[in-house]
């Protein structure tokens, strides 16, 4: 009998048998393997979804800035320094809440889980900014236009141009530098 690749098939087989399954029986082992396989697949899906959400969070932030800020409503392209400042704002977006949590905490008390999570997130994002944040190229007119009209899905990002921007960069890399 071929291995069932779907947990539902194995559960159906297990539910048909009226007698209880023996711990060392073939059907019990089959059900156990299928359950573990299903758990592994759902964990991978959840991890992938979380990673994709984290990657899209910068796009949501940038879209909000360029669409809602009255200074940037009519701007078609942005300079490199503006792009760096946008990413700096993105990295420091939790600073107010973190400072508030630090002030509320009494001396000698452990950190709250919210404060720990925010500190880890800020530390991770600042490390990514040091090494290079992969974000949309706002110096490209078409990418800015697409970001303004972006619907929030990862599939809609394929038409945008992306660049890696780090904290210590002074200008955007040119095409000749990227090829070499």
Residue 49 in any domain: the answer is: yes
Whether residue 168 lies inside any domain: the answer is: yes
Reported as a single tens digit per residue, the pLDDT across 19-61 is: 677 778 888 888 888 888 889 999 999 999 988 888 889 999 9
Q: 3-class DSSP state for residue 38?
A: helix
Residue 144 lies in a domain: yes
Q: Which element (helix H / strand E) includes 86?
A: helix 80-91
Contact 152, 60 (CB under 8 A): yes
CATH of the domain at 60: 1.20.1440.170
Q: pTM for the complete prediction?
A: 0.70
**Residue range of the domain that includes 126:** 7-179
Tell whether 2 is covered by a domain: no
Flag whether 12 is in a domain.
Answer: yes
How many domains are contained in the chain?
1
Question: Could you tell me if residue 165 is inside a domain?
Answer: yes
């Amino acid at each position: 009998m071929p291995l069932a690749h779907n947990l539902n098939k194995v559960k159906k087989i297990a539910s048909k048998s009226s007698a209880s399954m023996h711990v060392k029986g073939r059907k019990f082992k089959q059900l156990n393997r299928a359950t573990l396989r299903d758990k592994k697949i759902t964990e991978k899906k959840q991890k992938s979804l979380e990673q994709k959400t984290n990657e899209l969070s910068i796009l949501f932030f940038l879209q909000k800035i360029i669409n809602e800020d009255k200074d940037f409503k009519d701007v078609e392209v942005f300079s490199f320094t503006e792009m760096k400042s946008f990413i700096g704002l993105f990295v420091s977006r939790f600073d107010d809440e973190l400072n508030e949590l630090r002030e509320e905490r009494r001396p000698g008390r452990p950190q709250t889980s919210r404060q720990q999570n925010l500190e880890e997130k800020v530390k991770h994002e600042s490390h990514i900014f040091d090494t290079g944040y992969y974000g949309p190229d706002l110096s490209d007119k078409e990418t800015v236009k697409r970001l303004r009209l972006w619907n929030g899905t990862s599939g809609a990002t394929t038409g945008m141009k992306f660049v890696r921007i780090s904290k210590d960069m002074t200008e955007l890399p040119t095409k000749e530098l990227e090829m070499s």
